[in-house]
A and B are shown apart, each in its own frame.
Chain A
Amino acid sequence: MIDVINEGWETLPIGGVIPEGGTSAAYKTGDWRGGGKRPLLNHSACVHCLHCWISCPDSAIEIQESKMLGFIYDHCKGCGICANECPPLVKAITMIAEEQFETTL
Chain B
Amino acid sequence: MNRETQVLKTDAVTVEAEAAEAPPQPQRQLLALTGNEAVAEAIRQIDPHVCAAYPITPTTQIMQEVAQFIADGRMRAELVPCESEHSAMSACVGAGAAGARVMTATSANGLALMWEVLYIASGMRLPIVMAVGNRALSGPLNIHCDHSDSMGARDSGWIQFYAESVQEAYDNILQAVRIGEHPDVLLPVMCCMDGFLTTHTSENAEILDDAEVRDFLGKYRARYSLLDVDNPVTFGATDLPNAYTEHKYQQVEAMKKADAVIRAVCVEFGAKFGREHGMLEAYCMEDADTAIVVLSSTAGSVADMVDTLRAEGRKVGLLRPRVFRPFPAADVRAALQDLTAVTVLDRSHSFGADGGPLFTEVRTALFDAPHRPRVLGRVYGLGGRAITGGEIRALYDEIETDTAPTFRFVGVRE
User: Are A and B a genuine interacting pair, yes or no?
Assistant: yes
A interface with B by C-beta (< 8 Å) = 4-5, 7-9, 12-21, 23
Q: Please state if B243 and A14 are interface contacts (CB–CB under 8 Å).
A: no
Selected from B232, B234, B242, B250, the residue in CB contact (under 8 A) with A14 is B250
Given A4-B243, A5-B242, also A12-B250 (CB < 8 A): yes
> Which residues of chain B in 200-234 are interfacial with respect to chain A, using CB atoms and an 8 Å cutoff?
223-224, 231-234
- The reply to whether B237 and A16 form a contact with Cβ atoms under 8 Å apart is yes
Given contacts A14-B223, A15-B124, A17-B224, contact A9 B233 (CB under 8 A): no
Q: Are A19 and B250 in contact (CB under 8 A)?
A: no
CB of B235 closer than 8 Å to a CB of A: yes
Would you call B232 and A16 a contact (CB within 8 A)?
no
Are A14 and B125 in contact, CB atoms less than 8 angstroms apart? Answer: yes
The answer for the CA separation of A17 and B234 in the assembled complex, in Å, is 6
Is the Cβ of B246 less than 8 Å from the Cβ of A7?
yes
Contacts of A21 in B (CB 8 A): 232-233
B237 contacts A18, C-beta separation under 8 Å: yes
Which of B's residues lie within 8 Å of A, judged by CB? 123-126, 186, 223-224, 231-237, 239, 242-243, 246-247, 249-250, 253-254
**Considering the chains assembled together, what is the distance between the CA atoms of A18 and B250 in angstroms?**
15
* Contact of B249 with A17 in the complex, beta carbons under 8 Å: no
The residue in B123, B233, B236, B242 that gathers the most chain A C-beta atoms within 10 A of its C-beta is B233
| A residues in contact with B254, CB < 8 Å | 14
| B residues near A16, Cβ cutoff 8 Å | 123-124, 235-237, 239, 243, 247
User: CA A18 – CA B240 in complex, angstroms?
Assistant: 13
User: Could you show 24 A-B contacts with beta carbons less than 8 Å apart?
Assistant: A4-B243, A5-B242, A7-B243, A8-B246, A9-B246, A9-B247, A9-B253, A12-B247, A14-B125, A14-B223, A15-B124, A15-B126, A15-B186, A16-B123, A16-B236, A16-B237, A17-B124, A17-B233, A17-B235, A19-B224, A19-B231, A20-B232, A21-B232, A23-B234
Does B232 lie within 8 Å of A15, measured CB to CB?
no
Main secondary structure of the interface of A (DSSP, over half): loop
| Contact residues in B for A9 (Cβ distance below 8 Å) | 246-247, 249-250, 253
Q: Is B233 a contact partner of A19 (Cβ separation < 8 A)?
A: yes
Q: Which residue of A lies closest to B249 (CB)?
A: A9
Q: How far is the CB of A89 from chain B (nearest CB, A)?
A: 40
Tell me which residues across on chain A come within 8 A of B233, comparing CB atoms.
17-21
**Please, how many angstroms separate the alpha-carbon atoms of A14 and B233 in the complex?**
12
**Chain B residue at minimal CB-CB distance from A2:** B243
Distance A20 CA – B228 CA, assembled complex (angstroms):
11
CB of A96, distance to nearest CB on chain B (Å)? 30
Residue of B nearest to A11 (CB): B246
- Given the complex, which residues of B lie within 8 Å of A12, measured CB to CB? 243, 246-247, 250
Residues B186 and A14 in contact, CB atoms below 8 Å apart: yes
Q: A15-B186, A16-B235 are in contact. List 12 more A-B contacts (CB 8 A).
A: A4-B242, A13-B224, A14-B186, A14-B223, A14-B247, A14-B254, A15-B126, A16-B243, A18-B234, A18-B237, A19-B231, A21-B233
